[in-house]
């Protein structure tokens, strides 16, 4: 498990460097939330989910819905790195005529649904999970939401339906970085106590450090053992994770790094990669 965790951490650092470079090049993007969800996406796409890059519409694939669609930058980089489309296309992000727009676009292989109108993703993922049950299929449905998104009433309608239908093939994740576009989630619209609310709605709730790969791996594995209810991973994260000057700073919700900031961020992430490489070699 430790070696797998180290490899996934290395991959996450690489994805962070890619997304920062992409955002800098395009002059647009949601930096903070993409950095906070990178470890979650890396764990899902490189270890947990059942996918076929050569057949993106494979009927038995696991499905992923990015409900917090504005943080798509990390997902574009993951899909490119996995081979769903050429990495060269990342250079077109947010530019005229591109497929890689600022929210998930289902014209791109690997994207299930156009998302980003907050509060809709969990309903879609619930429908997908219910369809699997009705069709007697064993694929799983995953949905990543933002914490500010928890103020949307449609989230709770979907949560109630998922519990009613005992959708144990559904896993929702909340990227709990505690910041949204206009400041602290608890100042804008208090959402606590989140764990108690989701438990009361009939979900199996697993609090987890959203940047601890081993904890994420264990939580996703535990979710697969639940028989009678959906699971929520309450992933405590840091907005801007991995970049010292962006961490826990609300302004980095959609701020673009300038040349000097980009270089500093790349240097910090490269130093992390070197540290992880050393740890991996020691273990080998």
Predicted confidence (pLDDT) per residue in 174-202, tens digit: 999 999 888 788 889 999 999 999 999 99
Residue range 25-37: average pLDDT?
97
- Residue 231: is its pLDDT beyond 90? yes
Q: What is the signed CA dihedral for 175, 179, 180, 183, rounded to 10 degrees?
A: 170
Compute the average pLDDT of residues 206-227: 98
Phi, psi of 283 (to 5 degrees): -75, -25
pLDDT over threshold 80, residue 97: yes
Instruction: State the chain's mean pLDDT as an integer.
Output: 96
Residue 40 has pLDDT above 80, yes or no: yes
Mean pLDDT in residue range 87-106 = 97
Mean pLDDT of 127-132: 98
- H helix intervals, the chain: 2-26, 31-43, 73-82, 121-134, 153-164, 185-188, 194-200, 213-223, 259-283
Phi first, then psi: give them for residue 166, nearest 5 degrees.
55, 50
> How far is the CA of 47 from the CAs of 4, 197, 218, in angstroms?
9, 29, 12
Band the pLDDT of 140: cuts 50, 70, 90. very high
Distance between CA atoms of 179 and 36, rounded to whole angstroms? Answer: 11
- Above 80 in pLDDT, residue 166? yes
Q: In this structure, how many other beta carbons lie within 10 angstroms of the beta carbon of residue 240?
A: 26
Q: What is the pLDDT of residue 183?
A: 79
Cα R_g (the chain), whole angstroms: 18
What pLDDT does residue 157 have?
98
Supply the angle between the helices 2-26 and 73-82 in degrees, to the nearest 10: 120
Q: Residue 76: pLDDT band by 50, 70, 90 thresholds?
A: very high
SS3 (DSSP) at 183: strand
Compute CA distances 230 → 125, 178, 183, 194, 279, whole Å: 11, 23, 30, 15, 36
Cα 117 → chain centroid: 16
Chain CA centroid to CA 211, Å: 11
Q: Which residue has better confidence, 277 or 79?
A: 79
2-283, what's its fold? Rossmann fold (3.40.50)
Mean pLDDT confidence for 77-82: 98
122 vs 112: CA distance, rounded Å:
13
Predicted local distance difference test score (pLDDT) of residue 144: 98
Q: Are 74 and 19 in contact (CB under 8 A)?
A: yes
Helices and strands (H and E) in the chain: how many: 9, 7
Is 90 exceeded by the pLDDT of residue 116? no
Residue 233: is its pLDDT beyond 90?
yes
């Amino acid at each position: 498990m430790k070696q797998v965790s180290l490899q996934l951490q290395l991959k996450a650092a690489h994805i962070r460097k890619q997304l920062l470079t992409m955002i800098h090049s395009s002059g647009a993007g949601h930096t903070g939330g993409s950095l906070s969800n990178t470890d979650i996406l890396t764990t899902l796409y490189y270890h947990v989910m059942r996918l076929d890059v050569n057949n993106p519409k494979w009927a038995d694939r696991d499905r992923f819905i990015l409900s917090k669609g504005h943080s798509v930058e990390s997902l574009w980089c993951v899909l490119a790195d996995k081979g769903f489309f050429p990495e060269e296309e990342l250079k077109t992000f947010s530019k005229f005529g591109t497929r890689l727009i600022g929210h998930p676009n289902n014209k791109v292989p690997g994207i299930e649904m156009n998302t980003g109108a907050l509060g809709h993703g969990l309903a879609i993922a619930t429908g997908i999970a219910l369809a699997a049950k009705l069709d007697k299929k064993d694929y799983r449905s995953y949905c990543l939401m933002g914490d500010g998104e928890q103020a949307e009433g449609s989230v709770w309608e979907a949560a109630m339906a998922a519990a009613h239908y005992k959708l144990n093939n559904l896993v929702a994740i909340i990227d709990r970085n505690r910041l949204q576009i206009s400041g602290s989630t608890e100042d804008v619209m208090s959402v606590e106590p989140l764990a108690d609310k989701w438990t009361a709605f009939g979900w199996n709730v697993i609090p987890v450090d959203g940047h601890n790969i081993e904890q994420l791996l264990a939580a996703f594995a535990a979710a697969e053992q639940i028989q009678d209810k959906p699971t929520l991973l309450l992933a405590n994260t840091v907005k801007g994770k991995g970049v010292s000057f962006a961490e826990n700073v609300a302004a980095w919700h959609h701020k673009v790094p300038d040349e000097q900031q980009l270089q500093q961020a790349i240097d910090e992430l490269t130093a992390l990669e070197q540290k992880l490489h050393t740890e991996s070699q020691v273990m080998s």
